[in-house]
Amino acid sequence: MTLENWKGRRHAASFRMPRVCLAGYPLILVVALLGTLALFSFKHKARSVYHSDTQRLKWNSFWSSVQFHPTVEIINKTEIIWQIPDSARAVLFLAHGCNGRAANFWDRSPSCQNCVGLPEERLIALQALHQKYAILTISSSGRCWSFGKEERRVQNIIQWWVAENKLQELPLLALGASSGGYFVSSLAKDMKFSSIVLMISEGVFDSMSVLKEYPPTLFVHMPKDRVRNLRIKLNMESLRKVGVVVDEVECEDFPLTPKFLSDRVPCLDETVSVKLFGIFRERGFIDENNYLKRDGRAMKWKEALKDVEPSVEDHECADHVQEELNLAYGYHEMTSLKMENIIHWFESYFRR
């Protein structure tokens, strides 16, 4: 059995300050109106500042302090890619989503010729390495993760790898996105993780029994996906009732900027990013506040990219741009923007 869910919905969010004439009104009413308008203005400004803050990490933010030099192995016909920093403090298993693979978390290098380093996956891995986490990534056997036999195989690989590298005394953590989140939620019932993170996934709690010993669980999700948002709320309530520690981090959509794509995508230069932003405006892909009107998967943006950079059509850079557009729309995508929250969650439940 596999689980997947790729959805896209139209969305156009904008904020307009209402025009109000205050002449002739009592002073107390004027003050109240001004206070209300100021509150709305503050909230809008705070949202803009928030988005600016979350986008501050560029694709090469950790390049001076952390670099990839992963090891690639085939264990029981399963691809694993891993890296252990000096003085490792924890072990982190990362599970990709549907159509993903272990290679998405690592840049191409002499030690990993087939790695592709998708923008969000690579930043998750870099920030984890920066925190001295040993990282293990495993490719699923099919397009999405499955349960039963694959769970047992992955559990055996993780336990073997931890023992082989003498990391048994370190906290064991897991993060899974979409299909990987379903997989991690099920894997956690049999493995002793210190804590787990389920990204854009409600887990499979409705199909299994959970005891209070289940690891602390953080849901990182995008509330624009209303159905999944509701399921997550219900699962959090159910988990709390049996004594499991849970919390959530919500990821909103955010506006594009001319340099956003080149800031996040290693293979895209600033000139192309600025031109592409201009074409998005001309073709009505973004609204007056620079928010995407549709999910990146539902847009014909690749034609626009081809107009700017003809050679990019057959280049993997197109997949990188796709991921960042999905992220900006904020419906269903892997995200590194909440790694500060995720790392804080992990470290709050380290078991030594």
Q: What is the pLDDT of residue 314?
A: 55
pLDDT tens digit sequence for 240-293: 999 999 999 999 999 999 999 999 999 888 998 999 999 999 999 999 999 999
The answer to whether residue 65 is domain-embedded is: no
| DSSP reduced 3-state for 85 | coil
Q: Are residues 209 and 297 in the same domain?
A: no
Do you know the residue count of the chain?
Answer: 352
Q: What is the pLDDT of residue 351?
A: 63
Of 62 and 27, more confident: 62
Q: Are residues 141 and 271 in the same domain?
A: no
The number of distinct structural domains making up the chain is 2
Q: Are residues 274 and 221 in the same domain?
A: no
pLDDT tens digit sequence for 168-223: 999 999 999 999 999 999 999 999 999 999 999 999 999 999 999 999 999 999 99
> What is the per-residue DSSP string for 326-340?
HHHHTSS---STTHH
Q: At residue 33, does pLDDT exceed 50?
A: no
> Minimum mean pLDDT among 5-9, 105-109, 135-139, 179-183: which range?
5-9
The answer to whether residue 59 is domain-embedded is: no
Compute the distance between CA of residue 214 and CA of residue 243 in angstroms, rounded to an integer.
9
Domain harbouring 236, CATH code: 3.40.50.1820
* Tokens 């840049």 sit on residue: 107
For the record, the structure tokens of 95 come out as 């599970």
Tell me the percentage of the chain whose pLDDT exceeds 90.
Answer: 70
Biggest alpha carbon–alpha carbon distance for the chain: 80
Give the β-pairing of 133-138 and 78-83.
antiparallel
At residue 235, what are phi and psi to the nearest 5 degrees? -70, -35
Compute the distance between CA of residue 193 and CA of residue 214 in angstroms, rounded to an integer.
9
Q: Are residues 303 and 340 in the same domain?
A: no
Q: How far is CA 85 from the centre of its chain?
A: 22
Q: What is the pLDDT of residue 303?
A: 77
Q: Are residues 115 and 147 in the same domain?
A: yes
Q: Which of 66, 89, 65, 92 has its CA nearest to residue 81? A: 92
Q: Are residues 214 and 277 in the same domain?
A: no
Which structural domain, as residue segments, surrounds residue 283? 260-329
Q: Are residues 176 and 323 in the same domain?
A: no
Sign of torsion, CA 106 128 142 230? negative
Q: Are residues 225 and 267 in the same domain?
A: no
Give the β-pairing of 217-221 and 133-138.
unpaired
pLDDT tens digit sequence for 125-135: 999 999 999 99
Q: Are residues 91 and 193 in the same domain?
A: yes
The answer to whether residue 90 is domain-embedded is: yes
The answer to whether residue 213 is domain-embedded is: yes
